[in-house]
Amino acid sequence: MDFIGSLGFSVATFAYFAFFLLLAVIRKKSFIAIQITFVSLVSIVACAIAALQVKFGFSLKNVLIAENLKLLSYLMLLVNARIGISSFSNFFNNKSCLKYTIVGVSLSLGAWYLTESSGAGNHYLFLLFLVLNLAVIVALEQLYRNSIAKVKWALWPMVIGIGTICVVDFVIFAQAAMLGQLDFDFWYARGYIIAVGVPFFLITSRRVKDWQVDVFISRDVVFYSSMLFIAGSYLLVLATAGYVINWIGGEWGGVFSIAFAALGIAVLIALLLTERLRREVKVFITKHFFANKYDYRVEWLKSLEQLAIRDNNNFYSSALNIICSSMNIHRGLMVKCLGNESFKLLADKEFDTKDLELSKLRVIAEYCDRTRWIVDIREYRFIEDSYPQLDLDIDFFQEQRIDVVIPIISAGKLYGLFLLSRGDDTNLLNWEDRDLLFAITKQLSHYLSLNEANIELSESKQFEAFHRMSAFLVHDLKNVQAQLALINSNAEKHRNNPAFIDDVFETVESATERLDKVLTQLRNKQVPETHDKFIASFDVINQVVSQRNVNKPRVHAEINRELVSYVNEELISVLNHLVQNAQEASEDGDEVTLTAAEVDGCLQISVIDKGCGMNELFIKQRLFKPFDTTKGNAGMGIGAYEAKQFAEGLGGELTVHSVENEGSTFKLTIPIKNN
Cα-based angle 654, 659, 661 (whole degrees, multiple of 5): 130
> What's residue 179's pLDDT?
78
- d(CA 241, CA 265) in angstroms, rounded, equals 13
Mean pLDDT for 218-224 is 54
Stretch (H or E) spanning 618 = helix 616-618
- d(CA 259, CA 253) in angstroms, rounded, equals 10
Least confident of 18-32, 141-155, 374-388, 422-436: 18-32
Position 406, amino acid: I
Position 15, amino acid: A
pTM (2 d.p.): 0.39
How many C-beta atoms lie closer than 10 Å to residue 179's C-beta? 17
| DSSP letter (8 states) at residue 404 | E
> What's residue 193's pLDDT?
85
> What's residue 569's pLDDT?
62
> Residue 634 — pLDDT band, cuts 50, 70, 90?
very low
Express each pLDDT in 159-199 by its tens digit: 888 888 888 888 888 888 877 788 777 788 888 888 888 88
374 in Cβ contact with 406 (< 8 Å): yes
> What's residue 475's pLDDT?
62
359 in Cβ contact with 366 (< 8 Å): no
Question: What proportion of the chain, given as a percentage, has pLDDT over 70?
Answer: 73
Task: Please state the φ and ψ torsions of residue 80, each to the nearest 5 degrees.
Answer: -65, -40
Report the C-alpha dihedral over residues 96, 99, 103, 105, rounded to 10 degrees. 100
510 in Cβ contact with 476 (< 8 Å): no
- d(CA 445, CA 380) in angstroms, rounded, equals 25
| DSSP letter (8 states) at residue 264 | H
Domains of the chain: residue spans and CATH? 2-216 (1.20.1070), 296-457 (3.30.450.40), 533-671 (3.30.565.10)
SS3 332: strand
Query: Is the pLDDT assigned to residue 583 strictly greater than 50?
Result: yes
Query: Is the pLDDT assigned to residue 452 strictly greater than 70?
Result: yes
Express each pLDDT in 237-280 by its tens digit: 666 666 566 566 554 455 555 555 566 666 656 655 565 566 66
Express each pLDDT in 114-147 by its tens digit: 888 877 678 888 888 888 988 888 888 888 877 7
SS3 601: coil
Position 486, amino acid: L
